[in-house]
Structure 1
Amino acid sequence: MEENILKRNNVNVTGGGTKTIIFVPGFGCDQNIWRFVAPFFEKEYRVVLFDHVGSGKSDTNAYSSSKYSDLHGYSRDVLDICATLKLKNVVLVGHSVGCMIGMLASIQKPEYFERLIMIGPSPCYLNDPPDYMGGFEKVDLEGLLDMMDMNYIGWANNFSQVIMGNPERPELFKELEESFCSTDPIIASQFAKTTFFSDNREDLKKVVVPSLIMMCSEDTIAPIEVGDYIHRHLSGSTLRLMQATGHCPHMSHPKETIRLICEYLSASR
């Protein structure tokens, strides 16, 4: 069973530290996106990397449309990994929807986690005026999903540029595009629906693990207003606005990402 879980999520453990840090990818990404950040922590931490089922080198035979139609299915995988590796007091670093996946895991098993670090989180991508502006109208997201179904390659090219930002560095969005294209379109489409139509605003008040919220200064996917909302509703949270732009600062601005994480963890000791 333990071997199956590690294979299912393509779990890789590096580093020689006494503490553990686990990195949770966002939509359409595998663990390779952490390669500019994760190695920095290997001296002090046991670093745990994994792929969501359906992404990277995970076991796609383990994919279940019913399980993964909800973010709780992905959070159960995180808890399975923690239980298999016998982890406690973990620092969880999530990106984008990976933040909500990690948050849901912490609500179910708070004893597993010491800190949550959220990079570009959003509890709800849909606008719900006047109190909440997630960045998208429903018709926009429906159009995005329709494009995925009609022209997946074209969608991957367009959406990777929207997510990454930083147009002066085309190699970054090309890498993201390749990551999208390496994923089964059917699985990617369902993960997109699960991600963009999720609403975890009510879950924010259930979190008891202290957290750091890192928001980019210009981010189409997770606007600054979303970070402000999370900070107001998430007790024990710290909000940092990054100089980085785009939605993937761990790829485009890894030095700033590492610095803010380290500053937060140092201040927490």
Structure 2
Amino acid sequence: MENIIVRNNVTILGQGDQPLIFAHGFGCDQNMWRFITPAFMDKYKIILFDYVGSGNSDINAYSSEKYQSLQGYVQDLLDIIETLSLQNSIFVGHSISAMIGLLASIQHPDYFKKLIMIGPSPCYLNDDGYRGGFERSDIAKLLDMMEMNFTGWASYMAPIAMSNPEQPALTQELKQTFIAADPIIAKEFAEVTFLSDHRSELPKVSVPSLIIQCSEDSIVPSSVGDYLHQHLKNSTLQLMEAKGHYPHISHPNETIQCIADFL
């Protein structure tokens, strides 16, 4: 048990019994939830963690082979749930974590009561009749930039992803979070994130889900939210006024309200 708690830097907060798991997106860590968790402390048992290679996780536990697909991250999430003996968890996942939670729920639907997905996407690449938001050449350029000039990539990506120029401190924080990551691991996680396609898995999901879609999300177009809603049975689509890809940082009150309404 100890090694999984240390491996993923697991934090447990709150006074309640109902497990509420918060999972961060690519390039981030559990600190990204700090504006959200206080609202749920009194009623829930809150579980926070860092994926291997992110935040204060055990970087020595990383292997390119294990994490070359999302399945490695899915297994880590299931390990945490099993280690803590969690039942009927409510899972809140940002960005690629939404897919990690979704895939975990297909393997073990009994572990999950509800899925809450913030800015989710099953596929970031454009395809025939599907607009994921990126061409393959766009992703290739981003990955090249990560390899050639990691700090430059972070400086370029942070303002686009945050999309809240009136709050420059948030963009700066995101940039610093990006830069703090190991460049090789970050690039491999980016490849897995942006080049994976999990559209075929959506019909297998049985757990009730909430899709939280930001207006003018620079990473995930609104058409993706619509696509997920159409292909996930028992799903609810909530369109936010918040702009950008990090509403839990830029617009925490609206994000809290969306989560609380669904719960």
Q: Same fold (TM over 0.5)?
A: yes
Residue 59 of structure 1 aligns with an amino acid whose one-letter code is D
Which residue in 1 is equivalent to 2:81?
82
CA offset at residue 40 of structure 1?
A: 1.1
Q: Over aligned residues, Cα RMSD in angstroms?
A: 0.5
Q: Deviations over 1:7-64 (max 9, x none)?
A: 0000000001020100010000000000000121110000000001001000000001
Secondary structure at the counterpart of residue 92 of structure 1? strand
The CA distance in 2 between the partners of 1:189 and 1:260, in whole Å, is 32
Counterpart among 205, 221, 224 of residue 222 in structure 2: 224
**Pair 1:154-2:152 in alignment:** yes
Which residue in 2 is equivalent to 1:236?
234
Structure 2 unpaired stretches of 5+: none
The CA distance in 1 between the partners of 2:23 and 2:74, in whole Å, is 10
The CA distance in 2 between the partners of 1:222 and 1:169, in whole Å, is 21
TM-score between the two structures when normalised by the length of structure 1: 0.97
Residue 235 of structure 2 aligns with an amino acid whose one-letter code is S
Residue 65 of structure 2 aligns with an amino acid whose one-letter code is S
Which residue in 2 is equivalent to 1:7?
6
Secondary structure at the counterpart of residue 166 of structure 2? coil
Residue 68 of structure 1 aligns with an amino acid whose one-letter code is Y
Residue 51 of structure 1 aligns with an amino acid whose one-letter code is D
Which residue in 1 is equivalent to 2:108?
109
Structure 1 unpaired stretches of 5+: none
**Correspondence list, 1:90-239, <5 A:** 90-129=89-128, 131-239=129-237
The CA distance in 1 between the partners of 2:5 and 2:104, in whole Å, is 17
CA offset at residue 220 of structure 1?
A: 1.3
Which residue in 2 is equivalent to 1:259?
257
CA offset at residue 126 of structure 1?
A: 0.3
CA offset at residue 138 of structure 1?
A: 0.5
The CA distance in 2 between the partners of 1:220 and 1:180, in whole Å, is 17
Q: Deviations over 1:112-159 (max 9, x none)?
A: 100000000000000002x21000001001001001011100000110
Secondary structure at the counterpart of residue 64 of structure 1? coil
Secondary structure at the counterpart of residue 77 of structure 2? helix
Secondary structure at the counterpart of residue 166 of structure 1? coil
The CA distance in 1 between the partners of 2:68 and 2:247, in whole Å, is 27
**Pair 1:57-2:56 in alignment:** yes
Which residue in 2 is equivalent to 1:70?
69
Residue 95 of structure 2 aligns with an amino acid whose one-letter code is S
Secondary structure at the counterpart of residue 139 of structure 2? helix
The CA distance in 2 between the partners of 1:172 and 1:6, in whole Å, is 29
Residue 73 of structure 1 aligns with an amino acid whose one-letter code is G
Residue 34 of structure 1 aligns with an amino acid whose one-letter code is W
Residue 59 of structure 2 aligns with an amino acid whose one-letter code is T
Residue 206 of structure 1 aligns with an amino acid whose one-letter code is K
Aligned residues: 263
Percent of aligned pairs with the same amino acid: 59
The CA distance in 2 between the partners of 1:204 and 1:159, in whole Å, is 29
| Structure 1 segments of 4+ aligned residues over 2 angstroms from their partners | none
Q: Deviations over 1:208-242 (max 9, x none)?
A: 00000000011111110000000000000000100
